[in-house]
Amino acid sequence: MVFTMWLRPLILASVFVWAVATPSPQGCDFSHGRWIIDEASLHPLYDASRDCPFIGFDCSRYARPDKDYLKYRWMPSGCDLPRFDGKKFLERSIGKKIMFVGDSISNNMWQSLTCLLHIAVPNSNYTLTSQTQELLVFSVPEYKASIMWLKNGFLVDLVHDKERGRILKLDSISSGDQWKEVDVLIFNTYHWWTHTGQSQGWDYFQVGNELRKEMDHMEAFKIGLSTWAKWVDSNIDPSKTRVLFQGIAASHVDKKGCLRQTQPDEGPMPPYPGADIVKSVISNMAKPAELLDITLLTQLRRDGHPSIYTRRGTSFDDCSHWCLAGVPDAWNEILYAVLFGNY
């Protein structure tokens, strides 16, 4: 249960209200660019320990000694990325429900957004609720806005069978009712599809009535993601709900790792496994989701991971998740620009 490691104690309450989302901007590609030191000293956008003690992924809290990783901002090649305006975000989200659906990388982005919104209106009451083991809700009652994270590592069904163990049903989604009647949906999945050995999250794949012990993981990922895409096309009305897909965030689980990395890498970068699958599946949707393509900007930030600066300390070198403040704040700056046309 990854998210429990990162979250502080939760305050109970919540608000749910319905509204319609805003149209999408066109013409600005945020996916290509470079990381630059913010000479205006606007980054980091917050001090997690001081401003948002309720979030995790705070590497400074766990004694990360260097600070330069906090000072970078993402500069797209073809346009400028506006500074995140949390108050304006809330004003444009009055009465709305925004839901992140995905794994702990999705949770990373959700936590960043909750902090960015909180520091924008620090005197407004907020509630942070663990409604179920899988559903977390950050609410700002003054704006009747709810920002939710629903844990779902694969988007397709993972079922437990007494005889065979964990079966990942690549062509089945039975939990989709939880995704309905939401104004903005931000999906993600990828992190767990790449695991092998003891860290693998399933024992068998299933497609139709066929059980398979072995399958190429990227092939399975494509089938599962296509099932999600078909579900969205069949069940979500784009005139009522905005659908986005949080692209693949690169991990740096390789020989170089991320420990003691203090600066962004320089490009160009090779194609990242699975990124082409995401683009292909989304482009073939009848009602394509909007892709938040964060793959390149994360490939360049080997220095942005927690590494050993977590509760687990030196027992685990975390090169998959991201420090807060840090790289996920740029994801939310892109989200802000895409949702509200601020570019």
The residues that are catalytic are 104, 318, 321
Helices (H) and strands (E) in the chain, counts: 8, 13
In a 3-state reduction of DSSP, which class is residue 60? helix
Contact status, residue 188 vs residue 147, Cβ threshold 8 Å: no
For residue 322 the two structure tokens come to 């991201």
Q: Spell out a b/e string for 123-145, using b for 16 or more CB atoms within 10 Å of the CB, else e.
A: eeebbbbbeeeeebbbbbeebbb
The residues, ordered by sequence, that sit 6+ positions from 80 with a Cβ below 8 Å of its Cβ are 343
| Secondary structure element (H or E) that encloses residue 50, with its range | helix 48-51
Distance between start and end Cα atoms, the chain: 37
